[in-house]
Every structure is written in C-alpha cells, then in structure tokens.
Amino acid sequence: MNGSEIAWDLDRTSGPSTGDRNFYHTQLRAQFINDDANTYNFTPVTTGIFTNNATSSFDNGTHGTYNVAFPDVVTTTNGSSAAITYLAGVGGTAGVQYGGSGGGGKVVNWGFPFETITDPAVRDAYMSDVLRYFGAIPAPRLQPMAVTNNGSNVFLSWNSSSGLKYRVEFKSSLTNATWLPLGADITATNTMTSATDGNVPTTKQKYYRIFLVN
C-alpha cells in the first residue's frame, strides 16, 4: 500500500470513522503522525527489508509524475517495524513493514506514492525487495554445471528474473569459514543467467552458491 494521503484520510485526528482507524491500524499496520513530512527525501532503515538500497527522493513536481506535496509521516503498530524514514524536514517514519507473524499476511505500507521515486534504478531495487519479501521472486537455483578445457573451466547457470542482480560465491572446502565472490555481481537480462569460473584447480574440489542481491 502506498500513497501520500492514505494515512491522513483514514487516521487523522478528526473525520475518519472507527472502522477507518481500525483498518489502518490492524490491516495496514501503521498510525498517522503528521500530514506533511516537509521533505522529498527518504532513506532505508538498516534493519529493514530495504537495508542495502540507496537513499533517494520522490517527485517535487519537476520529475515527470506529480508534486507529492503532503507525504504522510507514520509510525509502527500491531507488530510492524520501520522500513524507511524521511531525511530532513520533520523526519520520522516514511514506511513500515509487517512480516505476518501475528496473522493477516505480510504488509509494506508507504507514506508517499512509490511510483514518484525519481530514480528508476532505485525504484526497481525497492520494488524487487518488496516482491522478494512477499515471496513473489523465486530463489535462484544452480543448473547442472558444465566443465570444459580439461576441467579448468566451469560454466554455471541459474534461473533468474530480468533486471535483478545476482552474486556467485565459491570456496574450496566446506569447512572454510567464508565464501569468496566469483567476479562482480551480475545483472540478469533474461530468465537464465550464467557465469564462468576459469580458475578451477584440476586436482581439487570447488563449491558454489548463488543468491539474489537486489
């Protein structure tokens, strides 16, 4: 759920019905605090689902959507936690997340319209995190590996979602404490993505894993 006047419409001091307030508190898992954050900037909460994403901004009327003149400041309730906060202005929580532990399903609730985020790459990254939180993006699974050049090269492939970023890691022994990156992160352009490890010792084993970065 996202929008710049939803909290104000359903949970302001006077006007909304008891049913409106209960819906906002128990279904959308937030409470209205302030009608205007007085800023166009936001940043992820380090403990939330957007933790690795960039600080960004939403439209002030000069970026092709519309001026978000009254972004709602909200706070958490009924098991939710803060996911994003406003930068400057009056500050405060710009969005909450709820994992469904108390029933009712998962929720991500924003105090401003998601579609007005000005940077398309940032917008995509935040949406991918929402979809992953809801379990709508399948986890990457490695396909059977192909070995070439007398075993010195290994060709890896996995199912992917176009536009999302993946990381391949490896280690030479399962007893090693850390995994090492196999090159740079890879942004998928199709439903299958691949990488090649050209440094495989012919006399030793090597283990791989793949995970979605954002």
pTM of the full structure? 0.73
For the chain, which residues make up each domain, given as ranges?
A: 6-133, 146-212
Q: Can you point out the beta strands (E) in 103-206?
A: 107-110, 146-148, 153-159, 165-171, 180-181, 186-187, 192-197
Length of the chain: 214
Nearest partner of 113 among 46, 65, 53, 47, judged by Cα: 65
* DSSP state for residue 214 in the 8-state scheme: -
Give me the pLDDT at residue 202, please. Answer: 65
Look at residue 150 in the predicted model and tell me its pLDDT. 63
User: What region, left, alpha or beta, does residue 149 occupy, with left being phi > 0 and alpha being psi -120 to 50 degrees?
Assistant: left
Higher pLDDT residue, 115 or 211? Answer: 115
Q: What pLDDT, on a 0 to 100 scale, did the predictor assign at position 164?
A: 84
More confident: 186 or 144: 186
> Please, what is the end-to-end C-alpha distance for the chain in angstroms?
20
How many CB atoms sit inside 10 A of residue 139's CB?
11
Cβ neighbours of residue 135 closer than 8 Å, sequence gap 6 or more: none
Give the pLDDT confidence of 22-50 residue by residue, as tens digits. 999 999 999 999 999 999 999 999 999 99
> Which range among 95-104, 133-142, 195-204 shows the weakest confidence by mean pLDDT?
195-204
Considering the chain, what is the average pLDDT of its residues?
90
